[in-house]
Amino acid sequence: MISIKPHIAVIILLLTTNIALAQQPLIDASQQSRKFNMQFDVKKNHLSGMLISRKMPDGNVRLVATSYFGMSIFDFTLADTMVVNQCIDPLKRRSVLKLIERDFKPVFVDKSVLKRRKKHTNFEAYKRGHFLGKAKFDVLKDELSIRHSLLRMSIKINEL
């Protein structure tokens, strides 16, 4: 009689490994805060601030952004969906929040939604979406940028 237990074990191991690989972000959040200089450029407008990421005890990633003067910009939880804990009024639009969620989730939670375009020793390029939702993700050694060419918008993050 053939024992099925080893086969089940192999299947579970494969599933677990695939899930672990699929959940890899572009930037690992750790249980210690990681601090980044964040630049938002929308057309001619520029906003700089500090972005702080941390993996919380429940496994979700918390993102907090403040201006350098100290005023809070936003506080999001990246879970299955993005939870808006706090946000300044100019960002409180469904389309804007959706865009931020679609940009930050591959960066901090799961990059599997991205398609890799290029890979070199110190550089990786990814893309996602079409038309107005199209975004390019460039990952250099010290910097990550997200570009929405049609929207004339870009986000740049580099660790402090």
Strand partners, 83: 77
- Segment near another protein (CB under 8 A), from 7-15, 16-24, 35-43, 99-107? 35-43
Site for another protein in 77-96 (CB under 8 A): 85-86, 88-89
Judged by CB under 8 A, does residue 75 bind another protein?
yes
Closest distance of CB 146 from another protein, Å:
16
Judged by CB under 8 A, does residue 52 bind another protein?
yes
At a CB cut-off of 8 Å and minimum separation 6, what does 42 contact? 151, 152, 153
Q: Are 63 and 75 in contact (CB under 8 A)?
A: yes
Judged by CB under 8 A, does residue 45 bind another protein?
yes
Across 92-115, b (16+ Cβ under 10 Å) vs e yields eeeeebebbbbbbbbbbbebeebe
Residues of this chain that bind another protein (CB under 8 A): 33, 35, 37, 39, 41, 45-46, 48, 50, 52, 54, 62, 64, 66, 68-72, 75, 85-86, 88-89, 160
